[in-house]
Amino acid sequence: MGQAIGEVLAYGVGVALSPLAIVALVVMLVSPDGGRPAWAFAGAWVLSLGMVSTVVLLVADGADASTNGAPATWVSVVKIVIGLLLVLFGTRRWRRRTGRETEPATPGWMRHLDNVTAARAAGLAAAFNVVKPKNLLLTIGAGVAVAQVGASPAGQAAAVCAFVSLGTVGLGLPLAIHVVMGSRGRDLLTELRDWMVHENAAIIAALSLVIAAKLLGDALISLTS
């Protein structure tokens, strides 16, 4: 169980650091009817992460991801593919980063979050984890990483729960500020939103490249051992 949980830590942190998802949640929280949409967003985030990672885990487990406790060759190939895709994605994001004095363009979908419904908020959260490349690749990586260990069903379930919990930490911070501070936390949330929007490209780029390096390193060790 411990090994399975250890395998997903980096992936969970990578999903947690999703600046635009955090920004979207903050925008909902500071809107007049922020309660229901924001909590619907957080709930759908948890559900979509759990569903995708579980489906990947079941598929990988059924494809014999673990051979006598060691990763199968195809698992290393998948890690290399995901790692290279993250390098490509991270490099593109790094090139799109803006200078400190330049105001980044606001995504079109973000302009409509002030009066978003709970259902649309939930759909947006699911899209972040099912459609957005970074989170989708990391969730696939987490599911495969759990399967490759050959843990018991209880260990696999614990690892998925750990991944989802870690992946939700980024949303948990603004939610905690909103619950604890109420209207007094509005200025703090606004500052967090502005910082995340401005540093989005740099955060995503650095994170993608670091996790890509880990994936490629793990794959090469497995293939050459």
Coil, strand or helix: which one is 67?
A: strand
Q: Higher-confidence residue: 97 or 54?
A: 54
Judged against a pLDDT cut of 90, whether residue 155 lies above it is answered with: no
What is the DSSP secondary-structure string of 155-191?
Answer: HHHHHHHHHHHHHTHHHHHHHHHHHHHGGGGHHHHHH
SS3 100: coil
Q: What is the pLDDT at residue 45?
A: 96
pLDDT confidence of residue 182: 72
By C-alpha distance, which of 224, 181, 220, 211 is closest to 83? 211
CA dihedral 25, 30, 33, 37 (to 10 degrees): 0
Mean pLDDT of 7-36: 83
Which pLDDT does position 22 carry in this prediction?
87
Q: pTM above the 0.85 mark?
A: no
pLDDT tens string 55-109: 999 998 877 777 766 777 888 888 899 889 989 988 887 887 665 555 556 566 6
